[in-house]
Amino acid sequence: MTIFATIGARCAAAASALAFGLGLSGPAFAIDGGAAAGRDALAQATVAIGTITQPEEALRLTRCSGVLIAPDLVLTAAHCVNGDPLGALVVFFRGSEPARPVYGARVAARYSPDPGEMLPNEASGVSLSDLSLDLAVLRLTEPVRDRRPVPLAADPGRVPKSLRIAGAGLSGRTVGRLRTATLTPIAASNTGLTIARANGARVCFGDSGGPVVAQDRRGTYIWGVASAVISRAAPCGGYVVIAPAAQVFSATGMR
């Protein structure tokens, strides 16, 4: 059985209580292993996102990760905000710890990125139609003044050799901390869809929508967001499917 034989469930997980220090808590898992976040551009822009939906009679809570891409816009995975949420909370971090204030948000746009075709000699047996791939942009109720947004990748055809991911949630018994891990791309399509291996870590449900970034001479930029994990058993896996950030805004022109 290859690593692609079992595709894990989408990374969003239903939570069961409101808390998370400043926002949400419950059985949402985040990066297992890796390292606690520092105070670099990635950590400063990464957020935890909590949503509340009412699919039938009961309230449903979910928790994901995301990243600031404009003073009032946050990029995440679209399945993190499925079901027409009644409300969304966005929490930033100071280092690895959640920080005030908590921001309200609403869904501004959803995207279903074109998976494209696998580049030559890169995992030709992978069925792209089986991979979970979606993006959403949330608009904050007010702009963030003390955080610097991270720009999006401009060229989806140039896959970086090394990537980093950030995610928030539960790691072991630690709740509400932000962690990071390095990723090594192992396959990519011509539109930027990337499958990457986590180095010394596992990517878990609470990392859904978490930013995956690269570095060039101009600084840090967003290659994409965590859209699914590839695993033999939930809730964590050693491989992550990355939805390409370069496709955001291309369909609507929204800024």
- pLDDT at position 6 is 33
- pLDDT at position 4 is 33
At 13, the pLDDT band (50, 70, 90 cuts) reads very low
Give the span between the Cα atoms of 19 and 5, in whole angstroms. 36
The yes-or-no verdict on residue 151 having pLDDT over 90 is yes
Q: How many CA atoms lie within 13 A of 192 on its CB side?
A: 26
Model confidence, pTM? 0.83
Contact 196, 214 (CB under 8 A): no
pLDDT digits (tens, 9 = 90+) for 122-139: 554 556 666 667 999 999
Those residues with Cβ within 8 angstroms of residue 121's Cβ, 6 or more apart along the chain or in another chain? none
Provide the mean pLDDT of the chain.
79
Give the span between the Cα atoms of 63 and 24, in whole angstroms. 7
CATH number for the segment(s) 33-111+127-242: 2.40.10.120
pLDDT digits (tens, 9 = 90+) for 181-230: 999 999 888 888 999 999 999 998 789 999 999 999 889 999 999 998 88
- pLDDT at position 52 is 77
